């Protein structure tokens, strides 16, 4: 597994199916690439198996019942047009890739082969029985690759990125903090650190210590504006969504795993992953500490 020595996005991969949502994701990826001086890669994955679409519709990224040479050529032409348009609009270098096969296998290959630092994907909100039965594309990618994954929505606009919400749990999320620093520096944004206060009678010493340690870690590497708050609740993902909505935040940084899971209360029905419910873009940042828990 390849890890970056610095939390920087030199190589960005965006998945597209030529829909308006994935086009918006590509525009968001291009805007980020301009800030980080990144190389942007466009990837379109075709499925040649009509049966897989019919039996598992939620796991097929490109919904086409039959692929042939004509449609493959058409995909390449559409991808090239998209590439040229984005290059002209954003003034960045873009490389396009057309591939056929299982989504997980193809994405894993390109992330590894191209040494991708960030994958950008449009996140389609899901709820109820659909989320229980089928994983979203965003979830599949997050659970498949070791690079960071940014989930964007139709209302996302990274050019107005000014408020970043950074949940702090049982340990100091150093990698996530460094990522927040890089984004805040590039976009002149503020960072809002939050931790859960499960004790209605006061703030627990453990939560306070970890939050303060995280604050000191960030302040040691930057002088960007930082706010620290404890928020009531028993679930970090739900608290992060509520807080982000209250302050009109533009991005939530989370570790995949426990921190990303909703509790399944009356508001979120059967629970699920934050990427399927958040109205605010979510950046999933892998953490070795999170994997050990």
pLDDT tens for each residue of the chain, 293 residues long: 334 445 689 999 999 999 999 999 999 999 999 999 999 999 999 875 433 443 344 555 555 444 566 788 889 999 999 999 999 999 999 999 999 999 999 999 999 999 999 999 998 665 544 444 345 788 889 989 989 999 998 888 988 999 999 999 999 999 999 999 999 999 999 999 999 987 655 556 788 889 999 999 999 888 889 999 999 888 999 999 999 999 999 999 999 988 999 886 544 444 588 988 898 999 999 875 544 44
Tokens of residue 140, six digits: 């599949």
CB 197 within 8 A of CB 204: yes
SS3 of 122, please? strand
Q: List for the chain the helix, strand, coil content (%; round to 5).
A: 45, 20, 35
**Alpha-carbon gap, residue 279 to 164, rounded angstroms:** 14
**Alpha-carbon gap, residue 60 to 47, rounded angstroms:** 7
Given this model, what pLDDT does residue 70 score?
72
CB 135 within 8 A of CB 81: no
The pTM (predicted TM-score) of the whole model is 0.84
Q: Are strands 272-273 and 282-284 parallel, antiparallel or unpaired?
A: unpaired
Given this model, what pLDDT does residue 137 score?
85
Residue 239: closest CA among 254, 257, 226, 256: 254
* Within a domain: 74: yes
Domain-terminating residue out of 113, 132, 152? 152
Tokens of residue 286, six digits: 């892998």
Domain-terminating residue out of 92, 117, 152? 152
Range of the domain at 99: 11-152
* Within a domain: 4: no
Residue 71 shares a structural domain with residue 200? no
Domain-terminating residue out of 132, 152, 172? 152
């Amino acid at each position: 597994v390849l890890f970056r020595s610095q939390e920087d996005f030199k190589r960005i991969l965006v998945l597209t199916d030529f829909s308006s949502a994935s086009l918006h994701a590509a525009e968001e990826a291009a805007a980020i690439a301009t800030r980080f001086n990144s190389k942007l890669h466009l990837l379109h994955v075709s499925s040649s198996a009509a049966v897989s679409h019919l039996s598992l519709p939620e796991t097929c990224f490109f919904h086409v019942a039959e692929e042939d040479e004509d449609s493959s050529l058409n995909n390449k032409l559409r991808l090239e047009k998209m590439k040229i348009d984005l290059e002209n609009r954003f003034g960045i270098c873009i490389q396009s890739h057309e591939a056929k096969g299982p989504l997980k296998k193809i994405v894993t290959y390109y992330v590894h082969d191209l040494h991708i630092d960030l994958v950008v994907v449009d996140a389609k909100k899901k709820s109820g029985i659909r989320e229980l039965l089928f994983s979203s594309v965003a979830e599949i990618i997050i659970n498949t690759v070791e690079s960071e994954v940014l989930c964007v929505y139709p209302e996302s606009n990274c050019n107005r990125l000014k408020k970043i919400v950074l949940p702090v749990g049982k340990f100091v999320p150093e990698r996530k903090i460094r990522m927040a620093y890089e984004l805040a520096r590039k976009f002149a944004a503020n960072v809002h650190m939050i931790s859960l206060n499960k004790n209605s009678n006061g703030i627990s010493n453990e939560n306070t210590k970890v939050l303060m340690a995280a604050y000191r870690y960030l302040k040691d590497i930057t002088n960007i504006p930082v706010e620290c708050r404890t928020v009531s609740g028993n679930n970090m993902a739900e608290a992060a969504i509520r807080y982000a909505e209250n302050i009109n935040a533009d991005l939530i940084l989370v570790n995949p795993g426990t921190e990303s899971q909703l509790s399944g209360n009356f508001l979120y029905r059967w629970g699920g992953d934050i990427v399927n419910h958040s109205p605010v873009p979510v950046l999933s940042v892998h953490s070795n500490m999170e994997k050990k828990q």
